[in-house]
Amino acid sequence: MPHRAFIGVGSNLGDRRANVAEALARMAEIPETRVARTSSLYESEPHGVAKNLFVNMVVELETDLSAVDMLSRLADIEDQMGRKRAKPKAKPAPAAKGKAAKAPAKKDVSRLIDLDILFFNTEVVNTPKLRVPHPEIPRRRFVLMPLAEVAPQLVHPETGLTVSKMLATTEDRKRVVLMPPR
Ligand code: ADP
Ligand code: MG
């Protein structure tokens, strides 16, 4: 039996729809993986310091890869699509003086593409590199709305709550709207 993974996709820079579409096409090319379902596109108010509205989508994948291998494939796609990683592996640029030397806040920075594993079967993983289910799911309407479209009855393995229930009870008041199809 293949694993069932739900991936949260977000973009708030450049041609956001095109970025999401490209990420989807690239996910469809991951070995031993197929796209089972996709949600509609949603536009959401950013959390934190980012200013641009995000385009969000949730994708259900069926895969024979492990969660860790899936994470690394998703990171490859982010890298190939030109996302600046928070911690570059390559030699860092020489430190500039004063404020300019400060790296942008890791959380909620603008990005061409962000790919998060939301759920991976009913697995619970808590390592520094990978946390599944994604810990922010109950606090993110921009995840819960598209997720409720594709898997309303999916049960959170730690809380026992369905996606529908989490959406109905989330305290997140940020605006999330369904985008018209193009
Ligand atoms: P966020 O998505 O929380 O805004 P980032 O995408 O910049 O932040 O975080 C990337 C890091 O988060 C990766 O290095 C990855 O190892 C880690 N991470 C932990 N759990 C997950 C998960 N479920 N999905 C994706 N990345 C995760
Ligand atoms: Mg991420």
What is the best residue among 11, 84, 124, 129 to mutate for testing ligand 1's pocket, by most ligand atoms within 8 Å of CB? 129
Which residues make up the environment of ion ligand 2, defined by Cβ < 5 Å? 114, 116
Is residue 14 left, alpha or beta, with left meaning phi > 0 and alpha meaning psi from -120 to 50? left
Q: Are 62 and 37 in contact (CB under 8 A)?
A: no
Q: Are 143 and 49 in contact (CB under 8 A)?
A: no
Secondary structure element (H or E) that encloses residue 42, with its range: strand 42-44
- Is ligand 1 within 6 A of the CB of residue 134? yes
Instruction: Give dist(CA 10, CA 121) in Å, integer.
Output: 21
116 has catalytic annotation: yes
Instruction: Give dist(CA 136, CA 107) in Å, integer.
Output: 12
Q: Which of 16, 26, 111, 140 is catalytic?
A: 111
| Beta strands, E only, 86-159 | 114-120, 125-126, 131-132
pLDDT tens-digit profile, the chain (182 residues): 899 999 999 999 999 999 999 999 999 999 999 999 999 999 999 998 988 999 999 999 999 999 999 999 999 999 999 865 554 445 455 544 444 444 444 555 678 999 999 999 999 999 999 999 999 999 999 999 999 999 999 999 999 999 999 999 999 999 999 999 88
Please give the pLDDT value at position 94: 53
* Domains of the chain as residue ranges with CATH: 3-85+109-178 (3.30.70.560)
**For residue 7, what is the DSSP state?**
E
pTM: predicted TM-score of the whole model, two decimal places: 0.88
Burial class (CB in 10 A: 0-12, 13-18, 19+), 105: exposed
- Is ligand 1 within 6 A of the CB of residue 114? yes
Phi then psi for residue 177, to 5 deg, are -125, 145
Q: Which ligand 1 atom is the nearest neighbour of the CA of 10?
A: 2
76 has catalytic annotation: no
State the helix-helix crossing angle for 16-28 and 67-80, rounded to 10 degrees: 140
85 has catalytic annotation: no
